[in-house]
Structure 1
Amino acid sequence: MTTITTSVAPFTRRRLGAAIAALTIGSLTLGGVATAQAASEMPPIPEVDGPVAEGDGNDYTLKFSIGTTQSGAQYRGLEYFEDIVEARSDGHIQVELFHSAQLGDDLQAVSALQSGTLEMTSPSTSPLVNMFPEFAVFDLPFLFPTPEVADEVLDGEIGDRMLETASTNGLKALGWAENGYRQLTNSQNAVASPEDLDGLKVRTMQNPIHLDIWKTLGANPTPMSFAELFTALEQGVVDGQENPWITIQSSKFNEVQDYATESNHVYTPFITLVSERFWSRLPEGYQDLLSDAAKQMGDYQREVSRTLNDQIKQELMDEGMNITELTPEQVATFQETLSPVYDEWREKIGGELIDDIRAVSQ
């Protein structure tokens, strides 16, 4: 059996493009939105290490679609996945990457997996709540106090259970990565307590728990398409929004939002999914390869995500954004105020699951 230890086969056009992009810091745009300057400081893609998987002599093409941009941590993780799969299949599996919802948004991509017209995607868990109600646990506020707690949950028995749950409805779930912690920005005032949110119009996703969170805090949650958000912020249709730091910077929200709060109020993972139709066609050796590559991708992507978040938060501060960092006492006040959200959703999501996750952080 051949073992590979390499920075990956040929210097592909994709890798050449990435190198050029890294040298052109901050000057490239994607769909009219500037890429994050911190992209050139991402942790390097690891070398591929492992045996060549046993195949069946057939060649396969694997299309992998995501909704986030080419400049983000998620796409960087996909590049590592591509390297692993192509190298360790000895080229018998060719991976094609699609970013920025080129093949459809998260729900459209999942539907394409079910119909067999797309092989892989990695959506955030929030859009999948109607399909898998227990995924709503990831929308509960302040449930994951640290990234380490999130890792222990996702990579442990709880995460494995949820992967099994998601391996239905024409899908096979292979692992976890992260969208990360959501942070609040607004154009009106610094926010350090629930009282500071009184009447603030905050754009949210069309998600019932997120709506409950902001209503309970005294804000005026306003669901709208992400594509409409910058203009809505610029024109004052809404006062604020909440997203991870990398989204805040890459979408230039800091140009129309003077204030931010490092609230870490919701932690959202990405889940790596394969079409069951495609999965069932693969020999066992290639199935094992995809599972292994998904795990390595998730570990690396989380490292990239956290590195970028730290860099981007500092860059936003350097560019003049007023960022409030909550003290443990201030976080506790938000948690106490939001306790009715847990009362409302405990039975719907499953109290045992919530308790199991809480036990990890004790």
Structure 2
Amino acid sequence: MKKALGMLLVFMLILGVLAACGGNTETAAPSGSDATEQQSENTNDDATKPTFESRTIALGHATSDSENSHYHQGALKFKELVEEATDGQVTIEIHPNGVLGGEREMIEAVQLGTVDMVFTSTGPVGNFASKSNAFDFPFLFRDREHAYKVLDGEIGEEVNQQLESAGLKVLVWAENGFRNITNSTHPIKTPDDLKGVKIRTMENKIHLDSFRQFGADPTPMAFTELFTALQQGVVDAQENPLSVIIPNKFYEVQDYLTLTGHFYSPAPLIINKDLFDSFSPELQDVITKAAEEMRDFEREFIYQQEQEYLKIAEENGMEIIQADEYDFEAFFEAAQPVYEKYADEYGDILDRIIATE
């Protein structure tokens, strides 16, 4: 009897051990399996991937929201890059068409912190950092590549530092392009052709003095007021890059386009410095890299669009005076008193810009 009980206990013990082993076989993955390695990789990725606080950043610009508008397409690219890099936690809210005000008003709003960012021309920037006026001298830059080396290099950084002291941080210097003259009265081929012509310019002392030397009657005016002023004959002419002239349909109120290329016009993307400084290092990195990629995209966008811009101008009835049809030497000579007037203030930085290779 005792022997039978002993055998029964041994048999039950064996069944318990087998059941336990069977349970482990069903639920545990083999050591070193692909599933275990993948689970470990996912855990590590989640641990190292940065997270971002949900926020919306308002970005204003004064040009149209059309498909051939360089500011707007650049802003859309920046929005795409930032939102993708932050998994949509950071949203870029674009306000085109000057709905937040003229360029000077938007820069002031960014300085005050009531607007987060602005994509702008350099016209009003000199009111906040005097060194930036050096970029606006007539016939200063030989070509685009010369401008890029200056803006993306040491001289551009000097201007950036001056703007930071005013509470404005330049993320990148994008592009408007070389500026050209349009008017509604007659072809412009020499400075004499500008005599008595009332031309809208940006609120920029270098631009104003240059056009006085060319013989025109320059009138500073916010860009948001320009189309109506041309339409109503308040001014006869204006000057802008093709990237602004065509998307804003100035051909509807201007008959003549002269490819003077008299100023090169950068386009800084500016953010409130205190706001940028409040971002985490990870978000600062995202914003900076997105701005740099946008800058390269936007510059290439303008370059590729130029021939299309000219085609649209011609199709809409503008008479185009090509670069080899106007008197460059006469305009260049007329501009020299502007350099002389500001030699004490800007002579050193202008010499450095000219010497940049």
**TM-score normalised according to structure 2 size:** 0.79
Match of 1:360 in 2: 356
Match of 1:166 in 2: 163
TM-aligned CA distance change 1:158 to 1:54, over 3 Å: farther
TM-aligned CA distance change 1:111 to 1:199, over 3 Å: closer
Q: Give the counterpart of 2:58 among 55, 63, 73.
A: 63
Match of 1:338 in 2: 335
In the alignment, is residue 183 of structure 1 matched against residue 183 of structure 2?
no
Is the 1:73–1:308 Cα contact (8 Å) retained in structure 2?
no
Unaligned runs of 5+ in 1: 1-51
Match of 1:266 in 2: 263
CA-CA distance at 1:231 after TM superposition:
4.1
- Residue deviations 1:281-301 (CA, integer Å, cap 9, x gap): 211111111111111111111
The amino acid across from 2:84 in the alignment is A
TM-aligned CA distance change 1:313 to 1:114, over 3 Å: same
Counterpart Cα distance in 2 of 1:210 and 1:57: 43
- Residue deviations 1:112-170 (CA, integer Å, cap 9, x gap): 33333332222222212121011111221111131121112112222222222222222
Larger radius of gyration: 2
The amino acid across from 1:59 in the alignment is S
More helix per residue: 1 or 2? 2
SS at match of 2:115: coil
**TM-score normalised according to structure 1 size:** 0.78
CA-CA distance at 1:95 after TM superposition:
1.8
TM-aligned CA distance change 1:234 to 1:97, over 3 Å: closer
Number of corresponding residues? 309
SS at match of 2:292: helix
SS at match of 1:296: helix
Q: Give the counterpart of 1:143 among 140, 143, 153.
A: 140
Match of 1:325 in 2: 322
TM-aligned CA distance change 1:340 to 1:79, over 3 Å: same
Supply the RMSD in Å over aligned alpha carbons: 2.3
Is the 1:171–1:273 Cα contact (8 Å) retained in structure 2?
yes
Match of 2:125 in 1: 128
TM-aligned CA distance change 1:107 to 1:194, over 3 Å: closer
CA-CA distance at 1:76 after TM superposition:
0.8
CA-CA distance at 1:196 after TM superposition:
2.1
Alignment of 1:9-20 (within 5 A): none
TM-aligned CA distance change 1:109 to 1:358, over 3 Å: same
Is the 2:124–2:203 Cα contact (8 Å) retained in structure 1?
no
- Residue deviations 1:80-133 (CA, integer Å, cap 9, x gap): 111111111233322222112222332332333333333222222221212101
SS at match of 2:169: strand
SS at match of 1:129: helix
SS at match of 1:358: helix
In the alignment, is residue 91 of structure 1 matched against residue 91 of structure 2?
no
Q: Give the counterpart of 2:235 among 235, 238, 242.
A: 238
